[in-house]
Structure 1
Amino acid sequence: MPIEVPFDDQEASTDVDLKTQLVRFVITGAGSGILDFGLTLLLQYVFGAPEWAAKAVGFVCGTTMAYLINRRWTFRAEPSAARFFAVAVLYLVTFAVQVGIYTGLSRLWDEQIHWSLLAFVIAQGTATVINFVVQRAVIFKIR
């Protein structure tokens, strides 16, 4: 049985309206984004990791947290091997998008925290839109 995040004790159900899903997705994304960005900055500025490696570690940790919360709370979906595989493929795509955008902008701009924040926001925003649309329209419709 996969790890569960116990936000509430209601049974899983895909009968969650769009507004509720969107609000929950944004809340989850904000928390996951804080974890992602915090780890990225820590690794890049404190430990001297290259921007691509720092962003990769931040992304993996933030995305793992987001999946666990979104599956259970946002989309109220039962565990599914097919869904997990589909999410893994989606996250590989958004991983490439996020790390590519962050790295490209980081190399374009001076290495200062405010530029890193802007690069992160652009990369995260792009991936967030892709993730929500694909998860709502495809992944959490899989049984």
Structure 2
Amino acid sequence: MAPELPFDDQEASTNLPLATQIFRFVVTGVGSGILDFGLTAILQYALGMPAGFAKAIGFVCGTTTAYIFNRRWTFRAEPSMARFVAVAVLYCVTFVVNVGVYTYLSHLWPETVLYSLLGYVIAQGLATIINFIVQRTVIFNIK
């Protein structure tokens, strides 16, 4: 199946090939990551918010966007309360990992946009790996 734009009218199905799911997960993640880091940088550098708080707000906005696209496009799953609860638990875990690593690295390195971007990439990379594995193997297999 060739990758297509996020909004298509095909029936929901979790039976997409792994390569298609990875491609869609990456596309969704890049878009959500731009939102997350952009908002984090604006709050931290333009508005003077502490790094941890700025990252927390960026994470929540980026992660919410990612979930919406991943549920409908990447994994083609219908909404369900069990899945929503599982996602909430997963996002709490990745929130702690993501914001914790970013904040920790912010205290180690000089507070510049370049080091913040590097810290973001490291923190987001860890959270992304956790998210994909748990979403593919557990969450989007919940009926």
Smaller-chain TM-score range? over 0.9
**1:76 Cα deviation (Å)?**
0.3
- Secondary structure in 1 matching 2:110: coil
Match of 2:117 in 1: 117
Asked whether 1:56 is paired with 2:40, we answer: no
**1:11 Cα deviation (Å)?**
1.2
Match of 1:83 in 2: 83
- RMSD (Å), alpha carbons: 0.7
Q: How does 1:1-143 map to 2 (within 5 A)?
A: 7-143=7-143
Give CA-to-partner distance per residue, 1:73-126, whole Å, 9 cap, x none.
000001110001000000000000000000000010000010000000000000
Aligned length: 138
Q: Distance in 1 between matches of 2:38 and 2:14?
A: 32
- Secondary structure in 2 matching 1:49: coil
Match of 2:3 in 1: none
Q: Distance in 1 between matches of 2:27 and 2:94?
A: 19
Identity of aligned residues (%): 70
- Secondary structure in 1 matching 2:59: helix
Q: Runs in 1 of length 4+ with deviation above 3 angstroms?
A: none
Q: Distance in 2 between matches of 1:8 and 1:141?
A: 21
Q: Distance in 2 between matches of 1:13 and 1:23?
A: 16
The residue identity in structure 1 corresponding to 2:36 is D
Q: Distance in 2 between matches of 1:105 and 1:49?
A: 16
**1:127 Cα deviation (Å)?**
0.2
Q: Distance in 1 between matches of 2:123 and 2:70?
A: 20
